[in-house]
Amino acid sequence: MQSATSTNLAKPKPPQAAEAAPAPDDATLFRAAVGDVSPLPDPGRITPAPARVAPTPRQRARDTTTTPDLLSDHVPHSSESEQELGFLRPGVAAQTLRRLRRGHWPIADELDLHGMNRDAARTYLVSFLNQCNESHAKCVRIIHGKGLSSKNNEPVLKQLVRNWLMQRPDVLAFVPAQPAEGGSGAVIVLLKQGK
């Protein structure tokens, strides 16, 4: 009689799984795929250094975006003929007014204030001029209306807007608009270019 242990020894062992061959790395596979390829000759090109970005003046940006509303509502007395001549900041060439009247600069943007009260008009005007500085607008039109619906048919915003514009250092000049552009109910304003 055979023992139980000997019968177990007589049974053949199941074949063990063959050890997996190591997977070739990507570089080996690539070399095998391209075979006898030779690299192109060096053309001798020099790669230029990336262009330097101009620095951004952060303080100037803060100054223009946080310009407080310091405009006074006091309107100095001026005759109608003085208002029709326009305004020219000292130091600006006299021919600027003539060019502005003739439409030398295209109008980049427009603000319509007529129908507003003085507080709303001042707020919108300050915000509009600050945005024009940021977008580098050179020439804009501001419509203040002719005052036909105000008390005594007197143009209140017309005088206020002109006075506010004279107080702004970024306003170089302004003239009444041509009849086709709003006439005495609007002004064409030349702004200093932001740097």
In a domain, 3, yes or no: no
On whether residue 27 sits in a domain, the answer given is no
| Total domains present in the chain | 1
pTM more than 0.85: no
Q: What is residue 54's predicted lDDT score, i.e. its pLDDT?
A: 75
Q: Give the domain CATH number at 98.
A: 3.30.1370.110
**Does 155 score more than 90 pLDDT?**
no
The range of the structural domain enclosing residue 143 comes to 83-191
Q: Is residue 117 part of a domain?
A: yes
Q: Is residue 145 very low, low, confident or very high in pLDDT (cuts 50, 70, 90)?
A: confident
The pLDDT of residue 180: 83
Cβ contact 173:96 at 8 Å: yes
Tell me, yes or no, whether 133 lies in a domain: yes
> What average pLDDT does the segment 17-37 reach?
75
Q: What pLDDT is attached to residue 80?
A: 52
In a domain, 150, yes or no: yes
Of 3-12, 27-36, 150-159, give the lowest mean pLDDT range.
3-12
Q: Does the pLDDT of residue 76 top 80, yes or no?
A: no
On whether residue 2 sits in a domain, the answer given is no
pLDDT above 70 for 41: yes
Residue 116 · residue 157 · CB < 8 Å: yes
Residue 59 confidence (pLDDT): 64
Name the phi and psi angles at 106, rounded to 5. Answer: -70, 145
Q: What pLDDT is stored for residue 58 in this prediction?
A: 67
